[in-house]
Amino acid sequence: MYLTIKAQLFPDDAVGQELLRYERCFKREIFKICMVFKSKNSVFEYRYKNISNDISWTCKSIVLSKAKEMYTANKQGKLLKMNFSSIWNVQSFEIDHEKKRLGLILGRNQFQRKIFMHIYWSDYLEKRLHQGEILSLMLSRKNESWVAYFQMKFDIKWNLSDKVMGVDIGIKVPAVICTSDMKIRFIGNGKMLRYYQRSYRSKYKKLQHRKEFRKMTLMNHKLHHILNDIDHKISSRIIEFALHEDIGIIKLEKLTYMNRTFDIRITSDIYLWSYKRLQDMICYKANLNGIRIVYVNPKNTSKNCPDCGSLNYPKDRQYRCNVCGYHNHRDIVGAINILRAL
C-alpha cells in the first residue's frame, strides 16, 4: 500500500534561497532535455553527464524520467503541470528524527554539499514514518511556505479474523459502529460539528455581504482544517476500537451519489463532502492496520427492521417496527443493517 505523508518545512533564509535556486535548476534541466527530445523527435539515451552537476547525482534519473513524461505529454497535446519544486530519491536526503531536521544532498563531486532545515510533523505522522519505507521526497512551495511530501510504501499483514464491524456515518452522530458480537459504540460529537458549521456559516454570510473574499477563503481554510482534524480523530477511534475487538472486516456504505464533485466553496456542502473524506480516512487507516474494507449497498439500511426485515419509515431518532414491534436508536439500526448487508 502506498501513501503520501505531508510535513511542513522551515528553511532559514539562506537555505530557502538555496532551495529556490535548486528548483530553477531542476526545472530548467527537465525543460532543456525535453527540448532535446523534441528536436530529435524521440526519447533517445540522454547521458547523465550532460545533466547539470548542480543536480544531486542520484536524482539525475528523476530529471530524465520527468523530461520523458513532459515530452510524451507535449506530444499528446497536453501540458505537464510541474506542481513540484524538486524531487529527491532516498539516497539524496536524510531525516534526523531526534533534532527534527531534514538534510538534502546537493550537487556532485566538488559541488556536493548538504543543507539542513527544520521539519515538522505530528506525532501521528511520526509513527507512520517509522512504520513504512520511504521511497521518495517531493518538495513543494506555496507562497512563502515549504512542504515536503514523502511517498511511502507499507507492507500489510492482513488480519484474518472473521469478526465484522458495520460503521454507519451520520449527521446527528458522526459514526455508529456495531460489531458482529453486537457491541455498539457511538463515536464523535455531532452537536459540536453542527455548532462549528452554523457559526461559520453565519460569519461567512456576513463576509459575503461585505464582499470580503480574501477573508472568506481564509475562513474556509480554517473550517476545512477543523473538520479535517475532527475526522482524523473519529476515524482513529474507530480503528482503535476495531483493533481492540480484533475485527477483520469493516463494512461501510457505498456512497455512489457522493461521487459527484461538490463545490467545497459552498459551506453547506462541506459537510456532505466530509462524509466521503471520513470514509476515505477510515479506509486507509483500516488497511494500514490489516483490516479489510467492504462497501455495501446503502439501499434501505436505515429502514429495514433488523429483526424481521420489514420496511418501516422512522420519523424521529427512534426506530420502531410496525410488524414485530422491534425498537432501537435509528443510527444503531443503520449500523446493524450495514453489518448484515451483503
DSSP label at residue 2:
E
Binding footprint of Zn ion, residue count (CB under 5 A): 7
1 binds Zn ion (CB under 5 A): no
- Give the residue, chosen from 38, 308, 311, 317, that forms a contact with Zn ion under the rule CB under 5 A: 308
333 binds Zn ion (CB under 5 A): no
Q: Which residues contact 255 (CB under 8 A, 6 or more apart)?
A: 275, 276, 279, 298
Shortest gap between Cβ of 316 and Zn ion (angstroms)? 18
**Closer to Zn ion at the Cβ: 18 or 307?**
307
Alpha-carbon gap, residue 173 to 49, rounded angstroms: 61
CA distances from residue 254 to 87, 188, 276, 277 in whole angstroms, order as listed: 36, 21, 10, 13
Alpha-carbon gap, residue 55 to 90, rounded angstroms: 14
327 binds Zn ion (CB under 5 A): no
Q: Which stretch binds Zn ion (CB under 5 A): 3-11, 13-21, 212-220, 317-325?
A: 317-325
Shortest gap between Cβ of 294 and Zn ion (angstroms)? 25
**Closer to Zn ion at the Cβ: 11 or 306?**
306
Q: Which stretch binds Zn ion (CB under 5 A): 81-89, 251-259, 271-279, 306-314?
A: 306-314
307 binds Zn ion (CB under 5 A): yes
Q: The C-alpha cell of 55 is what?
A: 543536480
Q: Which stretch binds Zn ion (CB under 5 A): 114-122, 243-251, 282-290, 319-327?
A: 319-327
324 binds Zn ion (CB under 5 A): yes
CA dihedral 272, 255, 192, 222 (to 10 degrees): -50
Q: The C-alpha cell of 83 is what?
A: 506542481
Q: Which stretch binds Zn ion (CB under 5 A): 129-137, 162-170, 291-299, 322-330?
A: 322-330
Alpha-carbon gap, residue 204 to 198, rounded angstroms: 10
Alpha-carbon gap, residue 113 to 123, rounded angstroms: 30
Fill in the per-residue mask, 244 to 283: x = in contact with Zn ion (CB under 5 A), - = not in contact: ----------------------------------------
**Phi then psi for 127, rounded to 5 degrees?**
-60, -45
- Contacts of 99-105 with CB under 8 Å at 24 or more apart are 102/9, 102/148, 104/56, 105/56
The candidate with the shortest Cα–Cα distance to 137, out of 59, 21, 254, is: 59
- Give the residue, chosen from 321, 333, 338, 341, that forms a contact with Zn ion under the rule CB under 5 A: 321
Measured N-to-C along each axis, helices 190-209 and 213-244 cross at an angle, to the nearest 10 degrees, of: 170
- Give the residue, chosen from 305, 333, 335, 341, that forms a contact with Zn ion under the rule CB under 5 A: 305
Shortest gap between Cβ of 322 and Zn ion (angstroms)? 8
Asked whether the beta carbons of 320 and 145 are under 8 A apart, the reply is no
**Closer to Zn ion at the Cβ: 266 or 323?**
323
Shortest gap between Cβ of 84 and Zn ion (angstroms)? 57
- Give the residue, chosen from 248, 326, 327, 340, that forms a contact with Zn ion under the rule CB under 5 A: 326
Shortest gap between Cβ of 337 and Zn ion (angstroms)? 12
The candidate with the shortest Cα–Cα distance to 283, out of 246, 329, 235, is: 235
Shortest gap between Cβ of 328 and Zn ion (angstroms)? 10
Shortest gap between Cβ of 308 and Zn ion (angstroms)? 3
Q: The C-alpha cell of 13 is what?
A: 533564509
**Phi then psi for 121, rounded to 5 degrees?**
-145, 160
SS3 93: strand
Q: Which stretch binds Zn ion (CB under 5 A): 16-24, 180-188, 259-267, 300-308?
A: 300-308
Q: Which residues bind Zn ion (CB under 5 A)?
A: 305, 307-308, 321, 323-324, 326
